[in-house]
Amino acid sequence: MQRLSALFISLLAAAGVHAGEVQVAVAANFTAPMQLIAADFQKDTGHKAVLSFGATGKFYAQIVNGAPFEVFLAADDTTPARLEKEGHAVPGSRTTYAVGKLVLWSAKPDFVDARGEVLKSGQFNKLAIANPKTAPYGAAALETLNRLKLLAAVQAKFVQGENIAQTLQFVHTGNAELGFVALSQVFKDGRITTGSAWIVPGDFHEPIYQDAALLAKGRDNAAAAALLAYLKGDKARTIIQSFGYALR
């Protein structure tokens, strides 16, 4: 028994030698699912994913300017493609890990109706959106308002978040009665978790394909490659779907 225990410990030690760490830039809308995925990833592989959350556009600027990220989980597909074209991402490494959904949400129950008619009523003082220049969900919000022919009517009521996480915070704290956020932020296991919401039809804006990419700094990091592979596995995909994302 002692010999077996010693062997088991030595195997664990050997596994530890090969366990690595990967620096990951993650779009703010994917915060909750990625925290769960990273925990499972570490349990299953021994590798640790060090996560940073923020706006896709800001991460682009940081990566171009030498930030030490090795994997990028963006809120769109155009930014990773641009990084690849400019030599900051490994060619052929891009993959769509989730398809996002936009939702009009209020922390108040029954404030947002099932068809989003509250936007037409104008019975609100502030509408929160993410910065459309840096956050793809903000761009999708503008497309939706244009589709509804309401942009001019509500633009003066905008409260703009730096990213989708700050946008949610504006609504959650009551600084805005409602706002366009990512469905994943207010959805879990098949239902809206709090407040009231209208899930925006997918054809109201361009599809929100969220791509992951291996960045140039992670080219030789086994943990980075392992994380990208893990995102394609059943366990990660189940978590992703549980937060209301679609899979491509």
**What pLDDT tens digit does each residue of the chain (248 aa) get?**
444 334 333 433 344 447 899 999 999 999 999 999 999 999 999 999 999 999 999 999 999 999 999 999 999 999 999 999 999 999 999 999 999 999 999 999 999 999 999 999 989 999 999 999 999 999 999 999 999 999 999 999 999 999 999 999 999 999 999 999 999 999 988 899 999 999 999 999 999 999 999 999 999 999 999 999 999 999 999 999 999 999 98
Residue 11's alpha-carbon distances to 1, 5, 48, 171, in angstroms, are: 15, 10, 19, 50
How would you classify the pairing of strands 191-192 and 187-188?
antiparallel
Task: Give me the helix-helix angle, 164-172 and 136-147, nearest 10°.
Answer: 60
Mean confidence (pLDDT) of the chain = 92
Q: What is the maximum span of the chain, computed from C-alpha positions, in angstroms?
A: 76
Fold match between 2-99+207-242 and 102-199?
Answer: yes
Thinking of the domain 2-99+207-242, which architecture would CATH place it in? 3-Layer(aba) Sandwich (3.40)
What are the structure tokens assigned to 137, written together?
């969900």
Separation in Å, CA 229 to CA 121, 234, 242 = 47, 11, 19
Specify the pLDDT at position 83: 98
Identify the CA nearest to 99 among candidates 211, 239, 180, 204.
Answer: 211
CA–CA separation, 52 and 25 (whole Å): 5
In the numeric block, the tokens 């497309």 are attached to 143
DSSP 5-23: HHHHHHHHHHHHHH--EEE
**Using one digit for the tens of pLDDT, what is the confidence trace for 131-184?**
999 999 999 999 999 999 999 999 999 999 999 999 999 999 999 999 999 999
Domain ranges in the chain? 2-99+207-242, 102-199
CATH class of 102-199: alpha beta
Q: Is the dihedral of CA 100, 185, 205, 202 positive or negative?
A: positive
- In angstroms, the CA 85 to CA 54 distance is 22
pLDDT score for 172: 95
Q: What is the model's pTM?
A: 0.87
> In this predicted structure, what is the pLDDT of residue 9?
35
108 closest CA partner among 159, 177, 157? 177
- The CA-to-CA distance between both ends of the chain, in Å, stands at 49
